[in-house]
Structure 1
Amino acid sequence: MSIVISGATGQLGRLVVAALLDRGVPAGQIVAGARDESRLADLAARGVRVVRFDYDDPASLTAALTEGDTLLLVSGSEVGRRVAQHQAVIDAAKAAGVARLAYTSVLNAAESPLPVAPDHVATEQAIRASGLPFTLLRNGWYTENYAPALVQARAAGVVLSSAGDGRVASATRADYAAATAAALTGDGHEGAVYELSGDHAWDFDELAAAFATVLGRDVVYRRVSSEEHLNLLTGAGLDAGTAGFLVAVDADIRDGALATTTGDLSRLAARPTTPLVDALRPLA
């Protein structure tokens, strides 16, 4: 019986493997799966078993899973395709007889207006319908999502957003990975639904102040309307789809979609989440 991590070449999946090792899980009991397993050579060198785990190749999923495994399904990134991809993983997990399936969903999935939420809701429904024991890890926003804004602030001294007075309870990927590793290894997580987010919901004035601290220069928050934001993004060269997504997320933040603070993340990780300034320093 192993702990199988899908998407292990991704930023979160790789950190989950590292967190499991830090918790003392023997490397030989961890399976790191990825579409291109050759990119996991560093984990193989540490004794972790690496396998091909391609959401679009059911045979690779079947080969990677055995009865009694605990599987972490890290959400795919291909919008429009990932519900079917996730279903393939769920089907393979059920056929293999895995002991439990954990899934990285989105904060307040059922009620969330975020553009990414429908795929997560559909996947959660498929997991429940499978009859498999499960743990739902509903992740909030990553502080690292603001790395591009930090670069812009360095150049222009401005944080530009249409999020108004909205707040974001972000945490680092390492915070989420620590909580995920705890949920994969500890007892009492079967059937649990965790709403994972940072301990503090900051607003964009606080984000600008944090940028100023780590950059050593003045940074101000410039509020714009959604329409102005969209025009500025497309004018800067972003395609309409990406620009529309970013503006929609800011609108949802304005309406409180990412402000939830439950304490689940810090309780699972057994430590406070990383403060905003500390999380931004490595990105500067």
Structure 2
Amino acid sequence: MKIAIAGATGKLGMLVVDALLERGASPEQIIAIGRSEEKLAPLAARSVQVRIADYNAPATLIPALEGVDKLLLISSSEVGQRISQHENVIHAAKAVDVSLVAYTSIANALTGQMKLAAEHVATEQLLAASGLDYVLLRNGWYTENYTDQIMGYLNSGVILGCAGDGKISAAARADFAEAAAVVLLSQETQAGKIYELGADKAFTLTQLAGAVSAAGGHEVSYKEMDPETLADIYEQSGVPALFADILVDTDVRIREGALEVTSGQLAQLIGHAPTSLGKVIKNALDQ
């Protein structure tokens, strides 16, 4: 069985390869697909087969997927271009008869009303119309979305947001990667399944601030903003208007429950409790 990871050189993709190997896949089973030969080189050095392809270049995708049984389609990082990019991959998978496509969607895709979810919903619809067997991995928020900014929080003493007391079932990227590996390696039929994935213990931004304070030894507080003011602050700090709007909308939807996941499916898949918020914060501070 050949398992391909599309987007293998990204942060999630690299971790999925790690998880596949740790869970017993042989390097020869894994095909890592990415745009950069240089970024693929570390995977090739581990005897993983590497293939160069680009979501924007359909002609590169069919040869990249030849002989693939299961494909993990990791969603593109290029917001605004994802639908056409994902469609290219789906068409290529269809052309070479991939037996199962696993797609990294977003938690509560159909109900959360997040602007960021729109392209994920469109991709889910493309998969449904493709005739391919597919499984949806609706990943919640990565805890690293916050901990990557941890020094900024500690230096400023504040986390800005407009999420109110909304709960965020964020989990470590490695936990989501492990869940993907479990699904890809499963001997059980995965076609048609939808996994809503998130940590068992949700937190608010106020609780995030408290955890950062405790771990970093400096007082950090959460400051609730109105959406318009927060968008202005993002734009003044250099965030493009489109992304500032998405960030603010995400907070507003968090307040409404868009990123709270109560299924318990992440822990069930990986067979252990997801990494705690405190542990992810500690890991970030140790780097």
TM-score in terms of structure 1 length: 0.96
Aligned in 2, Cα 1:228/1:80: closer, same or farther, shift over 3 Å?
A: closer
Contact conserved, 2:116 with 2:250, CA < 8 A, in 1? no
| Matching residue of 1:272 | 273
Counterpart residue type for residue 196 of structure 1: L
Residues in 2 aligned to 1:230 and 1:41: alpha-carbon distance in whole angstroms: 40
Deviation at 1:238, TM superposition (A): 3.0
Shift of the alpha carbon at 1:67? 4.4
Contact 2:105 2:137 in 1 (8 A): yes
What's the counterpart of residue 173 of structure 2? Answer: 173
1:117 Cα deviation from its structure 2 partner:
1.0
Pairwise CA distance, 1:4: 0.2
Match of 1:255 in 2: 256
Tell me if the contact between 1:139 and 1:195 (Cα under 8 Å) persists in the aligned partners.
Answer: yes
SS, match of residue 142 in structure 1: coil
How far is the alpha carbon of 1:76 from its aligned partner?
0.8
Equivalent residue for 1:144? 144
SS of the counterpart of 1:167? Answer: coil
Residue equivalent to 2:134: 134
Tell me, what secondary structure is at the counterpart of 1:145? Answer: helix
- Distance across 1 between alignment mates of 2:243 and 2:201: 28
Q: Alignment partner of 2:24: what SS?
A: coil
How far apart in 1 are the matches of 2:83 and 2:151? 33
The aligned counterpart of 1:92 is 92
TM-score of the pair, normalised by structure 2: 0.95
Which residue identity is paired with 1:253? I
Shift, 1:82, TM fit:
1.4
Counterpart of 2:283 in structure 1 is 282
- Give the letter for the 2:111 counterpart: E
CA distance in 1, matches of 2:276, 2:114: 24
Whether the aligned pair in 1 keeps the contact of 2:2 and 2:67 (CA below 8 Å) is no
Q: Distance in 2 between matches of 1:50 and 1:148?
A: 29
Overall identity of the aligned pairs, in %: 45
2:60 maps to what in 1? 60
| SS of the residue 1:202 aligns to | coil
Aligned partner of residue 168 in structure 1, secondary structure: coil
The 2-side partners of 1:76 and 1:82 are apart by 6
Q: In terms of mean alpha carbon deviation, does 148-157 or 95-104 score higher?
A: 148-157
RMSD: 1.4
Q: Secondary structure at the match of 1:54?
A: coil
Deviation at 1:36, TM superposition (A): 1.2
Kindly tell me: are residues 89 and 235 of structure 1, through their superposed partners in 2, closer, same or farther at Cα, counting changes over 3 Å?
closer
CA distance in 1, matches of 2:215, 2:2: 41
Query: In structure 2, what residue type is equivalent to 1:126?
Result: L
Is the contact between residue 149 and residue 159 of structure 1 (CA under 8 Å) also seen in structure 2? no
Counterparts of 1:201 and 1:246 in 2: how far apart (Å)? 19
Measured in 2, the distance between the counterparts of 1:270 and 1:55 equals 33
Q: Which residue of 2 aligns with 1:235?
A: 236
Q: What corresponds to 1:193 in structure 2? A: 194
Secondary structure of the residue that 1:43 maps to in structure 2? Answer: helix
Distance 1:81 1:233 in 2: 22
Give the superposition deviation at 1:68: 5.4
Question: Would the aligned equivalents of 1:67 and 1:99 in 2 still touch at CA under 8 Å?
Answer: no
| AA aligned opposite 2:229 | E
Shift of 1:188: 2.9
1:105 paired with 2:99, answer no
**TM superposition shift of 1:17:** 0.5
Aligned residues: 284
Uncovered stretches (5+) of structure 1, i.e. residues with no partner: none
Secondary structure (helix, strand or coil) at the match of 2:115 reads coil
- Within 2, Cα distance between the matches of 1:228 and 1:149? 20
